[in-house]
Amino acid sequence: MLSADVRTVVRSRSGDRRTRCALSGTPEMRGHRPPLSVLYMIESEGLTKRYGDKLAVDGLTFTVRPGIVTGFLGPNGAGKSTTMRMMLDLDHPTSGQVRIDGRHYRQLSNPLAHIGALLDAKAVHGGRSAFNHLLCLAQSNGIPRARVHEVLDTVGLTGVAKKRSNGFSLGMGQRLGIAGALLGDPEILMFDEPVNGLDPEGIHWIRNLMRGLAAQGRTVFVSSHLMSEMALTADHLIVIGQGRLLADTSMAQFIRENSRAYVRMRSPERERLLDVLRDAGHPASPAGEAVEVDGVSAADLGELAARHRIVLHELSPQQASLEEAFMQLTAGSVEYHAHSAEQRPMTEQRSAAPEDGLPEAPPPPGTPGAPPPGTPPGGGWGAGWRNPKRRS
């Protein structure tokens, strides 16, 4: 099945230079070419990393496949970067192994042609220009100089190619890192939080870039904390928490299995609606002016309301977001919690309080410093961290 997938991918890219190379076999690959079924894949098997007392990665087994974007998710400190470093042999596993195209990274004689990665955009000699940084990489990996121009153009840095990278903004540095990953025209690409620091146009660009690379049949593995972005970019998800595998599933299945689907109803006769729902045996809960109903279709609820001549102002199936599903699944694995103002130590609260000892009232709505519209009482920006819809 997988072999067939890869063959299809290879055929559809027959005009591509690297694909022809992979099919005919580079000198490196001739003689000991891995089976077709493992080409373009990252295979992690029981991957484990311990730093002293800290078990950073705990027996991770999963496969990253070609032709799709695979998102790598997990709370802060879950072990994503450590896993990616081990994939590139930058960190040695305590036990287990990772294979790229069926081989260990160190067995790849021309690694940039197999896997391109952006792990840390700051891992660049700041005194070198963008062009020279890429040229060094190209020359030490047998990549032609013309390719440097190509990737600079792809990431939109041609205009600043001769500028030293220590003068680059965060987003420009990310683009340079992405250029480095693309340099060897590899079949496998790995990005650790690539949208960090990118402006909206840059985020849109990298989403299309990743989807485009996957559509060409390449393997794209990307970590991010931007859930809304991941929902638009990834087809498949690997989710980890405290080093352990929590999910290895398609995006749609992940959301379906880890979040609550419900229908929101609003009526001027809310109390009567609640009675009717209760009599029909449908679990309903009031939510402000609305009513939320689990486990019944919007069509059935609409017909029920019609039979009882109840006027509805809203009848809307609620689609759970990736963010809700992620927070539901990883709630038990979050190591580093933010605290809202009410949870600050008393000493800190006292020093922040005005002289009369009473908490200061927020400025009236519409004035500078006022909370945004819709902010619940006592709910500052940090208070939304926990999913209010999370089942307990």
Ligand X SMILES: Nc1ncnc2c1ncn2[C@@H]1O[C@H](COP(=O)(O)OP(=O)(O)OP(=O)(O)O)[C@@H](O)[C@H]1O
Q: Which is nearer to ligand X, 90 or 287 (CB)?
A: 90
> According to CB under 5 A, which one of 19, 44, 70, 81 is a site residue for Mg ion?
81
Question: CA-CA distance, 41 to 5, in Å (whole number)?
Answer: 12
Q: Which is nearer to ligand X, 217 or 241 (CB)?
A: 241
Tell me the three state secondary structure of residue 263: strand
Q: Among all chains, which residue has been given the structure tokens 């070198």? A: 128
Q: Identify the sign of the CA torsion 86, 89, 90, 92.
A: positive
Q: Which is nearer to ligand X, 40 or 191 (CB)?
A: 191
Exposure of 60 in the CB half-sphere (CA atoms within 13 A): 38
> According to CB under 6 A, which one of 11, 54, 337, 339 is a site residue for ligand X?
54
The residue of the chain with the least Cβ separation from Mg ion equals 81
Interacting stretch for Mg ion, rule CB under 5 A, among 4-12, 73-81, 166-174, 290-298?
73-81
Write down the least CB distance from residue 209 to ligand X, Å: 21
Question: CA-CA distance, 366 to 209, in Å (whole number)?
Answer: 40
Write down the least CB distance from residue 363 to ligand X, Å: 34
Selection from ligand X, Mg ion, none that 86 binds (CB < 5 to 8 A by kind) is none
Q: Which of 227, 216, 224 is nearest to 186 (CA)?
A: 216
Selection from Mg ion, ligand X, none that 184 binds (CB < 5 to 8 A by kind) is none
Q: In what order do the strands lie in the sheet with 42-51?
A: 54-64, 42-51, 95-100
Question: CA-CA distance, 214 to 12, in Å (whole number)?
Answer: 12
Interacting stretch for Mg ion, rule CB under 5 A, among 74-82, 85-93, 150-158, 259-267?
74-82
Q: In what order do the strands lie in the sheet with 290-294?
A: 284-287, 290-294, 262-266, 314-318
70 binds Mg ion, rule: CB under 5 A: no
Interacting stretch for ligand X, rule CB under 6 A, among 49-57, 95-103, 125-133, 262-270?
49-57
Q: Among all chains, which residue has been given the structure tokens 């595998």? A: 245
* Touching ligand X, residues 71-90 (CB under 6 A): 74, 76-82
Count of chain residues binding ligand X (CB under 6 A): 11
Selection from ligand X, Mg ion, none that 76 binds (CB < 5 to 8 A by kind) is ligand X
Selection from Mg ion, ligand X, none that 214 binds (CB < 5 to 8 A by kind) is none
Write down the least CB distance from residue 89 to ligand X, Å: 15
Question: CA-CA distance, 21 to 110, in Å (whole number)?
Answer: 13
Burial class for 213, CB neighbours closer than 10 Å (0-12, 13-18, 19+): buried
Q: How many CB atoms lie within 10 A of CB 168?
A: 20
Burial class for 115, CB neighbours closer than 10 Å (0-12, 13-18, 19+): buried
Selection from Mg ion, ligand X, none that 51 binds (CB < 5 to 8 A by kind) is ligand X
Binding site for ligand X (CB under 6 A): 51, 54, 56, 74, 76-82
- The contact set with Mg ion (CB under 5 A) reads 80-81
